């Protein structure tokens, strides 16, 4: 249990959330939870717990769900006077095409490098 650790994580990524809508019972003290459901199917889903002292925005252009390839959620942690930090969680459903997953993953990385001008 996290409460038993003497560590305060800044970000915790979760896959297989199995959440179906915005109503949920998975909040933790001192964290903001954001998630992306798997549309029209049970299982899957990804989420991020972020320390509640962060200002952040969801990167909708990097986040998505293609149930036959991957589910992803990316956020940008906004920091004053310095570059922002992008954090994400990616889930590949079992027994799905690995080549399609790698291709989609590369698209996300290229977008981060090209359009967002982030260093990975």
Mean pLDDT score, 5-28: 82
Give me the residue spans of the domains in the chain: 2-114
Kindly indicate the confidence band of residue 116, based on its pLDDT and cuts at 50, 70 and 90.
low
In the structure, what pLDDT confidence band is assigned to residue 1 with cuts at 50, 70 and 90? Answer: low
* CATH 3.30.420.40 is held by the domain 2-114: no
- What DSSP assignment string belongs to 23-35? --S---TTEEEEE
Which whole-number Å values give the CA distances from 98 to 28, 38, 55, in the listed order? 34, 19, 34
Are 64 and 44 in contact by the 8 Å Cβ rule? The answer is no
Which contiguous run of DSSP H or E holds residue 108?
A: helix 98-114
With 80 as the cut, is the pLDDT of residue 38 above it? no
**Residue matched to tokens 């560590």:** 7
Residue 55 in tokens: 């200002």
Confidence at residue 102, expressed as pLDDT on a 0 to 100 scale: 94
For the whole model, what pTM was predicted?
0.85
How many whole angstroms separate alpha carbon 27 and alpha carbon 89? 18
Q: For 55-114, how does the pLDDT look when each residue is reduced to its tens digit (9 = 90+)?
A: 999 998 888 878 788 899 999 999 888 888 889 999 988 888 899 999 999 988 888 888
Instruction: DSSP letter for 4, please.
Output: G
């Amino acid at each position: 249990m996290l409460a038993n650790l003497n560590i305060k994580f800044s970000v915790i990524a979760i896959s297989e959330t199995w959440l179906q809508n915005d109503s949920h019972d998975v909040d933790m003290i001192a964290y903001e939870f954001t998630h992306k459901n798997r549309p029209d199917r049970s299982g899957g889903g990804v989420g991020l717990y972020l320390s509640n002292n962060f200002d952040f925005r969801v990167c909708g252009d990097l986040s998505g769900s293609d149930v036959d390839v991957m589910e992803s959620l990316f956020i940008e942690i906004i920091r004053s006077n310095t570059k922002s930090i992008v954090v994400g969680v990616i889930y590949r459903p079992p027994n799905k095409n690995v080549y399609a997953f790698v291709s989609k993953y590369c698209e996300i990385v290229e977008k981060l490098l090209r359009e967002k001008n982030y260093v990975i």
